[in-house]
Amino acid sequence: MYMPVLVYSEIHAVDRHGKELASLGTKALIVTGKNSSRANGALQDVTEALQTHGCESVVFDAVEENPSVDTVCQATLFGRKNGVDVVIGIGGGSPLDAAKAVAFLLAQPEGRDMVTLMYEAGNDRHLPMALIPTTCGTGSEVTPVSVLTVPDLQTKKSLPHRLFADIALIDGRYLTTAPITVLRNTALDALTHLIESYLNRQADDFSRMLVNGGLSLWRQNKEALESGVLTDEQRQSLMNASAMAGMAIAQTGTTLPHSLSYMLTIQKHIPHGQAVGYFTAGFLAEAPADDREYLLHTAGFKDLSDFEQWYFRWYGCPAVPLVVLLQTGDAVWKNQPRKIEMVSFPVSGSAFYRITMRNFEKDRH
Distance CA 19, CA 208 (A): 34
Q: Residue 331 is inside which H or E element, if any?
A: helix 322-335
Half-sphere exposure of 168 (CA within 13 A, CB side): 30
User: pLDDT value at position 156?
Assistant: 86
Angle at the Cα of 265 from the Cα atoms of 166 and 151, rounded to 5 degrees: 80
SS3 assignment, position 322? helix
SS3 assignment, position 7? strand
Summarize pLDDT for 233-288 with one digit per residue, the tens. Answer: 999 999 999 999 999 999 999 999 999 999 999 889 999 999 999 999 999 999 99
List, in order, residues 6 or more apart from 317 with CB less than 8 Å away. 278, 359, 362, 363
Do residues 106 and 84 touch, judged by C-beta distance below 8 A?
yes
Strands 56-60 and 147-150: unpaired
Distance CA 132, CA 140 (A): 9
Distance CA 126, CA 163 (A): 7
- Looking at residue 295, its amino acid is L
SS3 assignment, position 3? coil
**Backbone torsions φ then ψ of 149, nearest 5 degrees:** -80, 130
pTM confidence score: 0.95
User: pLDDT value at position 154?
Assistant: 78
Strands 155-158 and 147-150: antiparallel
Rg (CA), the chain: 20
Do residues 356 and 340 touch, judged by C-beta distance below 8 A?
no
Domains and CATH numbers, the chain: 6-174 (3.40.50.1970), 179-364 (1.20.1090.10)
Q: Distance of CA 323 to CAs 206, 262, 328, 330, 336, Å?
A: 40, 15, 9, 10, 19
Distance CA 283, CA 305 (A): 13
Do residues 252 and 200 touch, judged by C-beta distance below 8 A?
yes
Distance CA 157, CA 200 (A): 20
Distance CA 188, CA 306 (A): 15
User: pLDDT value at position 151?
Assistant: 86
Distance CA 252, CA 3 (A): 12
Q: Residue 58 is inside which H or E element, if any?
A: strand 56-60
User: pLDDT value at position 360?
Assistant: 85
Do residues 177 and 135 touch, judged by C-beta distance below 8 A?
no
> In the chain, where does DSSP find H-type helix?
13-16, 18-22, 36-39, 42-52, 69-81, 93-106, 114-118, 180-198, 205-220, 222-227, 232-252, 256-268, 272-286, 289-299, 304-315, 322-335, 337-341, 349-364
Distance CA 210, CA 77 (A): 38
Greatest alpha-carbon span in the chain: 63
User: pLDDT value at position 363?
Assistant: 62
Summarize pLDDT for 299-311 with one digit per residue, the tens. Answer: 999 999 999 999 9
Q: Which residues of the chain have pLDDT under 50?
A: none
